[in-house]
Amino acid sequence: MSSLLSPLDALGQRVGLAGTSPLLALALTHSSYAAEHGVESNERLEFLGDAVVDLAVADLIVTSYPTLNEGTGSLVRSRVVNESSLANAAQRLELASAMRVGRGVAKENGLERPSLLADAFEAVVAALYLERGYDVAKAFVHDALAQDVAAAALQPGDVDPKARLRQWSEANGHGTPVYKVTSTGPSHDAMYYANVKVDGLVARGEGRSKKSAEASAAEHAWEQHA
């Protein structure tokens, strides 16, 4: 019978929300679709979901890995709460099957973009939080990311570029790296450009999302200082 379900209903079963949930539909509405149809996008839910995911992963680290200290726990979290990891979680849940995107994004295979998928994952978490409460949202995040946290806990030093650069900069008395991000193009198909200033030098990077541009800039800065 599951094969007869619509993509939205099938996804609703996987994440724990009814296929008819307005919040689920909103969580899956990309800004490109919203612009074409005059409806709200998932950006506000993504903003909320980002905070919920961050808290839920921190909770998982503290409760499941009591031997990790604060610094190592932060490194583990940075490896899990990032665009690549959340996009992979979205792929495992097949969020793209029910996403609503604009014609241009669909034509350019935009449903494969890590930034779009990561944002949708966070928006779905926010929908769960608003409709069913924090405990349900937390359990969903734990289930979706437990293996990622376990892998990161085994090798906490293998961190994302921003966390690695920040750790090095602060340990060497240079303070926290400062990022400045600009973008070009429409919001649903923008290109982002990031500058990061650390130890008196500026490194640059670009990407299809603010997060990926900052990560690229951090990687270039690290290469300059390594």
Q: Beta partners for 202?
A: 197
Tokens, residue 208: 């299809």
Q: State the CB neighbour count (10 A cutoff) for residue 10.
A: 16
Q: Which of 46, 50, 83, 160 is catalytic?
A: 50
For tokens 């034509």, the residue is 107
Q: Which of 83, 119, 122, 160 is catalytic?
A: 122
* Helices marked H in the chain: 7-15, 22-27, 31-37, 43-64, 70-80, 83-93, 103-107, 114-132, 134-154, 161-171, 210-225
Distance, in Å, from the CA atom of 98 to the CA atom of 204, rounded to the nearest integer, reads 35
Torsions phi, psi for 200 (to 5 deg): 80, -5
User: Three-state SS across 22-43?
Assistant: HHHHHHCECHHHHHHHCCCCCH
- Cα torsion 206, 212, 215, 219: sign: negative
Q: Is 199 a catalytic residue?
A: no
Q: Is 46 a catalytic residue?
A: no
Distance, in Å, from the CA atom of 114 to the CA atom of 4, rounded to the nearest integer, reads 29
Residues carrying an active site annotation = 50, 122
